[in-house]
Amino acid sequence: MEINIPLTCGATLEIDSRRGSSTNYPTARLQKGFALLQDGRSLIEEGIGFGLPVVKRGNQTVFPGHMELQMKANDLTCVLDVQYQMDLEERIALPGKRRIESKLVYQLKNGLADLHRRIPVLRGFLTAASNRLRRLLAMETIFAEVTSFGTITADFTIYSNLGRIFFKYDTSRLRKNALTEIIIMNEQGARTFDVYQDSMGTYLKADEIGTWDEVKAEEATFISVIDHLAFSLKQVEGARLFRGRELIGSRLAWTGFGYSLPATAKTFCYELKIRRYP
C-alpha cells in the first residue's frame, strides 16, 4: 500500500509498504519510513525515512523486512496503524553476490564502525580506508533475511495542516533477551538536508555535522536551504537523541536523527515537525 499525504508547507509525505525502490543505493531493498517529496521529487536519497525502527544486537543492526499498513483519515488528520517485522540484517557480499559469513569479518567491521561513531578524529582515516578496501575487493552491502527478532507495532498520527507527525511505538513483542538497543530513525537525503541547527545556538553545515553525535540541545533541526524545508525533533525522556550525516558517492547519502532506547523499553512516543524554511 502506498500512501501520500500533502502538507500545508508544500511538501508531501509518502510511505509505501512494498519493499524496494528505484534508487541504486544499497538501502533500496529496505522497508522505508516516511519520505518527503517536493513537487513530486523524492528527497530521501539513501535515507530510510521518518519513524523507521531498527534494533541492534551488539554492533549488528536488524531492519524491518516487512511492514503492514492500515489507514484512517479525515480532512485534517491521517492515522496509520503499522506493524514492522524485524527480520533483515546487513551483510557484505563479494562479486557475484557471494555473501561473506565469517563472524570475524563482521566483528572487525562493526568494531571499526563503533570507533567511527565514538572518535571523531578517526573518521576521515576510517572512511578513506573503508572505501579503498571496498573498491579493492569489489565489496558491496546487501541485506539478508534472518530469523525474526519480533514485531514492533506503531500508531502514526499526521496533522497535515500543522506539519506534525505523532509517533507511538509498542516494542513488547520483540525478543528482548537477544537485543541490546532499539533505535527510531528519522532520515532524509544528505545532499538535500545539509544544514543543522539547534536551540543551543549550534549551526553546522555539511561535513561539520558529523557521522553520529549526541544532541544535547532541547530541540534540533535539519534544514534544506534549496528546497526551503526543515524538520525538527525534541528531547524525549528515556531516550538519547543523536544526529548524523554521511555522503559517500553512490553508497551513502543520509541525514537525520535517531532516538536510542534501551532494549527493555516497552513503549515510546515523540513528535516530528516539518515546516517551510525560512
Helix axes 103-118, 123-137, angle to 10 degrees: 150
Grid cell for residue 179: 537485543
Which residue is associated with the grid cell 533477551? 177
Phi, psi of 119 (to 5 degrees): -125, 95
- Distances from the Cα of 181 to the Cαs of 46, 53, 115, 206, 252, in angstroms? 23, 11, 17, 28, 23
In terms of residue numbers, what domain contains 239? 2-276
Question: What is the share, in percent, of the chain residues with pLDDT greater than 70?
Answer: 82
> For the chain, how many structural domains are there in total?
1
Examine residue 278 and say whether the peptide bond preceding it is cis (omega within 30 degrees of 0): yes
Whether residue 60 has pLDDT greater than 80: yes
Q: How many CB atoms lie within 10 A of CB 46?
A: 25
Q: Is 243 helix (H, G, I), strand (E, B) or coil?
A: strand
pLDDT, tens only, 85-130 = 999 988 777 766 667 665 665 666 666 666 666 676 666 666 665 6
**Contact in structure between 138 and 94 (CB atoms under 8 Å):** yes
Across 28-42, average pLDDT: 91
Question: What is the share, in percent, of the chain residues with pLDDT greater than 90?
Answer: 65
Residues counted in the chain? 278
Identity at 110, one-letter amino acid code: N
Ramachandran category for residue 105: left, alpha or beta (phi over 0 → left; psi -120 to 50 → alpha):
alpha
pLDDT the model gives residue 1: 85
- 146 vs 50, residue with greater confidence: 50
Q: How far is CA 73 from the centre of its chain?
A: 25
pLDDT, tens only, 192-210 = 999 999 999 999 999 999 9
Distance CA 159, CA 273 (A): 10
Distance CA 159, CA 154 (A): 16
Query: What CATH number corresponds to the domain at position 175?
Result: 2.70.98
Nearest to 220 by CA among 253, 181, 259: 259
